[in-house]
Chains A and B, each alone.
Chain A
Amino acid sequence: MNLDPIAISATGLTRKFGSLIAVNNVDLEIPAGTIYGFLGPNGSGKSTTIRMLCGLLTPSAGAAMVLGMDSVRQSERLKQEIGYMTQRFALFEDLTVRENLQFISAVYALPRARRRSRVNQLLQEFNLMNQTGQRAGTLSGGQKQRLALAAATLHEPKILFLDEPTSAVDPQNRRDFWEKLFEMAQQGTTILVSTHYMDEAARCHRLAILDLGIKVADGSPKELGENIAYNVIEVVADNPNSARLSLAQNKSFTSITQLGVRLRVLIPKEIPDALEQVQLNLRQSQVSAQTEPVFPDLEDIFMAVTEERRRAEAA
């Protein structure tokens, strides 16, 4: 059992592809037994970071220690201890569900008796008993994802890397999937999951927000919400369009996001009377609306931290 409380640590992790800097000077410290999220849009460097931590890509600069092993020099030893679920379905489409799991169990060289029992156990656990003889290529999105997760956890890894695991899955399957992840974290597995879904990121114990290869913020979702330099005012208006047009005239409001009849307005904390400012603005334009200060959700946080970065760059 690995008693080290830190499962993954990285300092100055950087990866360049030609002139493109895919990952730029990222520091990470991921406690063992947590679900750690990488949140960011496409191209923000989530996959590249995961691949460097797995030892699949050599960092251009910086280094990562995974389970106390160097991700580059000890990558082969590391492979027995980690599981990796690729973004794209990577199992063999022309093999059946059972054959795929049998293959993976042999590649990890589990003892013969253990192989059989482990494959059966996973088929049951991941609700694939009715598909054992079906070719993997003909499975539904949810079934493929369950098979991929079963394959990645077959050798009982201490760390599980999941690269956008739920992008091709319906909401019910996503819920079941996350329940599974919580169960595994409970049993001590460290899980690193990348996503661009805000609701998924919100389930993580801790997360890092990546934008254009740079880690712009990290912490628990609650800490992140407390630490942003913005207040969030929610506006519920009968005519949200005119409310939005009115609010947009005030340049000190950083961003206005419309969600149906609701608008979320981000206002820098250095403006002390944010709520009054909003109410005044709406009254002047004769738009009737209810206003209320709210706790920032992840989308607000994401807007806020990427906005801060843009300002810092412009300055």
Chain B
Amino acid sequence: MNSLIRIFAVLRKEFLQLSRDRLTFGMIVGIPLLQLLMFGYAINTDVRNLTAAYADEANTHLSRQFISDIAASQVINLSQRVDTVQDLNRLMDAGVIAIGISVPEDFDRRVIARDRSAVQLLVDGTDPIILGVAQQLTALPIAFDSQTAAAPLRLIGVRNYYNPERRSAVNIVPGLVGVILTMTMVMFTAVAIVREKERGNMELLINTPIKTPELMLGKIIPYILIGLIQLVIILTMGRYFFEVPIRGSYAHVLAASLVFIAANLALGLLLSTVTKTQFQAMQMTFFFFLPSILLSGFMFPFDGMPVIAQNIAEVLPLTHFNRLIRGIILRGADITSMWNEMLAMIAFLAVTLTLAIARFSKRLD
């Protein structure tokens, strides 16, 4: 009974303070809105309009036909024509173009003979995504009309599940749910507690009969609600701005998100017990945030990473949440078919919360 009175007192205080802190309140709504709009539109792995130049040394009917076919594909943007391969090299060194197309003098003869490649693509391989795009161009057929029938049959056909239009937003939006929640949840709780240390409130609080779990619960619950508000903002915007459908059940989305939010809040609490200033708390948040973004499968496919990186990623709650939320939202997966991901997040939550409560001391030494 007394515990409930105290938890409720902390809750009420947190809500009053939140409602008066315009900046934090703005961040709660502003961060998901801005980041979703920014990343939803900006992150696009389906690349178009790469800057390119070409050197058509053959300058025949067929070569001109070929160049205009490539231009029509819209994958590249042929910005200029130069005379020789050397010119293309120069432009690429200067960073002006990402792709160069070199059509040799004997282009027609090579097309007819079909003994070696008729055209050379010069690709800026420093960005693997550009290299992938160049691969698409190689599939373009080149032939005199009489030869079209001889175009080789493709041995492997691709069928695109869940995202037939190849829109990046479909992958990015569910991923952003986890990324945004990680950033805001860890930071808000860590800062909310460290701020009270900095302002001296904590010295007063620890001298009252309030117990550590009561204080922590009172601090966590408001942020769980905030996390849910952010979740609704992101998914609603994803649905109406980026047309990302929610194929699975809302209850499963909610269940996965609740556990994920709680795991991040527990981590925020733990960070607050090892830091003394708000600045340190921010630094620690980013120390955790960066590997979360890079290793969780949000940016790069998990399977491509070396084993050691995969092992690190398995610890991070974002990795598991990404699999869950993408599964539920995009594939309509059932949460029970992915119970081990839930279990991993619950384990993370249990360990960090226990550590946080053990480390939080009602003493100053």
Contact = CB atoms under 8 A, between A and B. Distances in A.
Given A76-B209, A99-B16, A106-B8, 14 more contacts: A57-B363, A57-B365, A80-B209, A88-B203, A90-B204, A91-B204, A92-B17, A95-B13, A103-B12, A106-B12, A107-B9, A107-B10, A108-B209, A151-B204
A195 to B, nearest CB: 19
A58 B9 contact: no
B159 interface: no
Contacts of A109: 1-2, 5-6, 209
Contact of A106 (B6, B20, B199, B363): B6
B210 interface: yes
A84 interface: yes
B200 A88 contact: yes
Nearest 4 CB-CB pairings of A with B: A106-B9, A90-B204, A109-B2, A90-B200
B200 A107 contact: no
Contacts of A93: 199
Interface string A277-315: 000000000000000000000000000000000000000
Interface of B: 1-2, 5-6, 8-10, 12-13, 16-17, 20-21, 199-201, 203-211, 362-365
B17 A94 contact: yes
29 contacts: A55-B363, A56-B206, A56-B363, A57-B364, A84-B204, A84-B207, A88-B203, A90-B200, A90-B203, A92-B13, A93-B199, A94-B16, A94-B17, A95-B13, A95-B16, A95-B17, A99-B13, A102-B9, A103-B12, A104-B208, A106-B5, A106-B8, A106-B9, A106-B12, A107-B205, A107-B209, A107-B210, A108-B209, A109-B6
Contact of B363 (A58, A86, A89, A99): A58
A90 B202 CA distance: 8
A108 B2 CA distance: 8
Nearest to B205: A107
Contacts of B362: 56, 75-76
Given A56-B363, A107-B6, A79 B209 contact: yes
Contacts of B211: 76
Max chain A C-beta neighbours (<10 A), residue from B16, B207, B211: B207
B30 to A, nearest CB: 20
A103 B207 contact: no
Contacts of B12: 103, 106
Q: How large is the interface on A (under 10, 10 to 19, 20 to 34, 35 or more residues)?
A: 20 to 34
Nearest to B7: A106
A94 B20 contact: yes
Interface string A45-59: 000000100111110
A84 B9 CA distance: 19
Contact of A79 (B5, B6, B208): B208
Contacts of A54: 207
A151 B208 CA distance: 11
Interface of A: 51, 54-58, 75-76, 79-80, 82, 84, 86, 88-95, 99, 102-104, 106-109, 151
Contacts of A84: 204, 207
Contacts, number: 77
A86 B206 CA distance: 12
B361 to A, nearest CB: 10
A302 B209 CA distance: 38
B207 A56 contact: yes
Max chain B C-beta neighbours (<10 A), residue from A54, A99, A109, A151: A109
Contacts of B20: 94
Nearest to B3: A109
A94 B9 CA distance: 15
Contacts of B13: 92, 95, 99, 103
Contacts of A108: 208-209
A192 to B, nearest CB: 14
Contacts of A51: 364
Nearest to A112: B5
Nearest to A93: B199
A93 B10 CA distance: 15
A86 B21 contact: no
Contacts of B204: 84, 86, 90-91, 151
A109 B17 CA distance: 21
Contacts of B201: 90-92
Contacts of B2: 109
Nearest to B214: A107
B46 to A, nearest CB: 47
Nearest to A48: B364
Contacts of B1: 109
Contacts of A89: 200
Nearest to B364: A56
B6 to A, nearest CB: 6
A75 B209 CA distance: 9
A66 B8 CA distance: 30
A2 to B, nearest CB: 18
Given A108-B208, A109-B2, A86 B8 contact: no
Contacts of A58: 363, 365
A159 B141 CA distance: 92
Nearest to B21: A94
A88 B199 CA distance: 9
Contacts of A55: 363
Contacts of A86: 200, 203-204
A172 to B, nearest CB: 26
A25 B211 CA distance: 31
A80 B6 CA distance: 13
Nearest to B196: A92
Contacts of A90: 199-201, 203-204
